[in-house]
Chain A
């Protein structure tokens, strides 16, 4: 065993294997965003005789339109990175909007629920806490079901999707809830939704990148068994991830309600699909382990540009939906291709 140290030279002779650098999916999405924006810019000059992009009002409306779903997409991104899915967020938006709004109504108008004597305006913190708690509860139930009963995320959150929508309708027997206090309305006024989205996006970008939570989120999506073998409490972590997604959906619900000054049980319909699509378009892989908030934000902007571009060209809203559907499918196809290529390389 004396030659032990002399043989280490072989190791250093090992040729560094050619590291194929892969273009990050976020970059592809960014190229897509720029490309689509340029197409609208050109079409704008041809058909409208004006610029699409150089118009502050159009741009601010554009981000405003997508930022609420963007808040949801931040939560959904984390869920997808763990290899899961959350179909309940749109319905959670509806239920939270109704319930939170009922605590935010001014006392001078007839109330939707809690018609009691001596009701006063509640401080804005009350509906906010109620709203976040609703989202948390929904997410917690999703997480517990997925982590401990091993129901596939698709099924568990589908159940929550139907249930939460039911709660939204049952809560006031279908009546809308209107007239929030000024303080509550402020959450959704002006560019507030965009500000909230930015704060949430930056916060979770940092969390995913720089904290143990982020590391474990990627590890679970990448190889759940390896994560478990390494000592990560996978179940507890999944509960946390779905809970956060629920809270963010709840937050989005309050923003929508505050922005429209009214809550309706149908609010947030199909938001879950838009949020998932934003993430996937932004390069978050449905098979887990890959993606980032930056990608999702780019995906969100792609959505924004398309909606706003169609309006700008005065094309019918039906076309928007058809194109949106096509983009979602394209993004998923690209994701599947990427996975196949990876599998071949491995």
Chain B
């Protein structure tokens, strides 16, 4: 169902924090329209992997290709401009702003261009927000109240809606449902499904195996900074994945686990 075009590819991606080998020699591939889960124990290197791709940190070595070109992002903004939207593990929202302002933070729609004093297109941003939220099936009662008073789930939905609204080529979500209740998790999962339906590729970092099997095509298991397995979700079950996460499987020779 997915086209064969490779959207994201890493080769030998490595990150050391001093003596900590947080990420070691990661070879990863994601094709157009594909949804991939990244799983692994705490400290396995999942977030580190995300930070190297999105330019939040500079990698120790390795190469990254995105959308057919080798890339070297200097920061998350460059990655975003290239078409990678990321929902980071620690949310990057401004509590005192309303939903449209958060969605368009740093890329406001403007009516009249006056440099820093450009006049905002408030109506345009509100309408685009409504449209974006509708598309992602997120329900938020009052768009013009500050997000400070929203529940964790609603805030998370704003962050996810932000990435979904602007997503051009790839979305990365680092544990988007980690702190959410049942209903809110369901809502986030629905957004992910609608992205799948739209053909937007996704990398989902998650500890929730039920969710992973529900949502994605492939599962990439991280263990101690290395990619321990690259599995087709329809060909394995939870026991297999747990075995790779804990090292029962693939432990003898971690370096040759990835095909």
Encode A229-244 as 1/0 by CB contact (under 8 A) with B. 1111000010010000
- At the interface, yes or no: B154 with Cβ under 8 Å from chain A? yes
Residue of B nearest to A237 (CB): B116
Q: A207 to B115: give the CA distance in the assembly, Å.
A: 12
Residue of B nearest to A229 (CB): B92
Q: A14 to B141: give the CA distance in the assembly, Å.
A: 10
User: Do B106 and A8 touch across chains, with their CB atoms under 8 A apart?
Assistant: no
Q: A12 to B136: give the CA distance in the assembly, Å.
A: 11
Encode B171-189 as 1/0 by CB contact (under 8 A) with A. 0000000000001101101
Name B97's contact: one of A5, A7, A222, A342 (CB within 8 Å): A222
- At the interface, yes or no: B96 with Cβ under 8 Å from chain A? yes
- Shortest CB distance B146–A (Å): 9
- At the interface, yes or no: A10 with Cβ under 8 Å from chain B? yes
User: Do B105 and A227 touch across chains, with their CB atoms under 8 A apart?
Assistant: yes
Segment at the A interface, from B20-28, B117-125, B201-209: B117-125
User: Do A230 and B184 touch across chains, with their CB atoms under 8 A apart?
Assistant: no
User: Do B77 and A231 touch across chains, with their CB atoms under 8 A apart?
Assistant: yes
- At the interface, yes or no: B94 with Cβ under 8 Å from chain A? yes
Encode B132-150 as 1/0 by CB contact (under 8 A) with A. 0000011101100100111
Which residues of the partner chain A approach B77 to less than 8 Å between Cβ atoms? 229-231
Name B142's contact: one of A19, A215, A222 (CB within 8 Å): A19
Name A20's contact: one of B105, B108, B149 (CB within 8 Å): B149
- At the interface, yes or no: B72 with Cβ under 8 Å from chain A? no
Q: A212 to B108: give the CA distance in the assembly, Å.
A: 7
Residue of B nearest to A221 (CB): B96
User: Do B150 and A11 touch across chains, with their CB atoms under 8 A apart?
Assistant: no
| Given contacts A210-B122, A342-B148, A10 and B183 within 8 Å (CB-CB) | yes
Which residues of the partner chain B approach A237 to less than 8 Å between Cβ atoms? 116
Name A16's contact: one of B95, B139, B194 (CB within 8 Å): B139
User: Do A8 and B137 touch across chains, with their CB atoms under 8 A apart?
Assistant: yes
Residue of A nearest to B78 (CB): A231
Q: Size band of the A side of the interface?
A: 35 or more
Name B197's contact: one of A4, A211, A212, A213 (CB within 8 Å): A4
User: Do A207 and B117 touch across chains, with their CB atoms under 8 A apart?
Assistant: yes
- Shortest CB distance B253–A (Å): 34
User: Do B120 and A215 touch across chains, with their CB atoms under 8 A apart?
Assistant: yes
- At the interface, yes or no: A23 with Cβ under 8 Å from chain B? no
Name B94's contact: one of A8, A13, A219 (CB within 8 Å): A219
- At the interface, yes or no: A330 with Cβ under 8 Å from chain B? no
User: Do B122 and A8 touch across chains, with their CB atoms under 8 A apart?
Assistant: no
Which residues of the partner chain B approach A165 to less than 8 Å between Cβ atoms? none
Q: A7 to B136: give the CA distance in the assembly, Å.
A: 12
Q: A231 to B106: give the CA distance in the assembly, Å.
A: 5
Q: A290 to B148: give the CA distance in the assembly, Å.
A: 11
- At the interface, yes or no: A314 with Cβ under 8 Å from chain B? no
Residue of B nearest to A22 (CB): B149
Q: A10 to B97: give the CA distance in the assembly, Å.
A: 27
User: Do A290 and B190 touch across chains, with their CB atoms under 8 A apart?
Assistant: no
Q: A21 to B138: give the CA distance in the assembly, Å.
A: 21
User: Do B187 and A11 touch across chains, with their CB atoms under 8 A apart?
Assistant: yes
User: Do A8 and B190 touch across chains, with their CB atoms under 8 A apart?
Assistant: yes
Residue of A nearest to B154 (CB): A17
User: Do A212 and B94 touch across chains, with their CB atoms under 8 A apart?
Assistant: no
Residue of A nearest to B150 (CB): A17
Encode A328-346 as 1/0 by CB contact (under 8 A) with B. 0000000000000010011
Residue of B nearest to A291 (CB): B96
Q: A237 to B105: give the CA distance in the assembly, Å.
A: 14
- At the interface, yes or no: B76 with Cβ under 8 Å from chain A? yes
Which residues of the partner chain B approach A10 to less than 8 Å between Cβ atoms? 183, 186-187, 190
Which residues of the partner chain A approach B119 to less than 8 Å between Cβ atoms? 210-211
Given A14-B187, A210-B120, A229-B77; 16 other pairs, CB 8 A cutoff: A4-B193, A5-B194, A8-B190, A16-B141, A207-B117, A210-B122, A211-B116, A212-B118, A212-B120, A218-B97, A218-B101, A222-B96, A226-B92, A227-B94, A230-B107, A231-B106
15 cross-chain CB contacts under 8 A: A4-B196, A5-B197, A7-B190, A7-B193, A8-B194, A10-B190, A20-B149, A210-B120, A212-B108, A219-B105, A222-B94, A222-B95, A223-B95, A231-B105, A231-B106
Across chains A and B, which 7 residue pairs bring their CB atoms closest together, nearest first? A230-B106, A231-B106, A289-B96, A222-B96, A222-B94, A230-B105, A16-B141
Q: B residues near A, CB below 8 A? A: 1, 76-77, 80, 88, 91-97, 101, 105-108, 110, 114, 116-120, 122, 137-139, 141-142, 145, 148-151, 154, 183-184, 186-187, 189-190, 193-194, 196-197
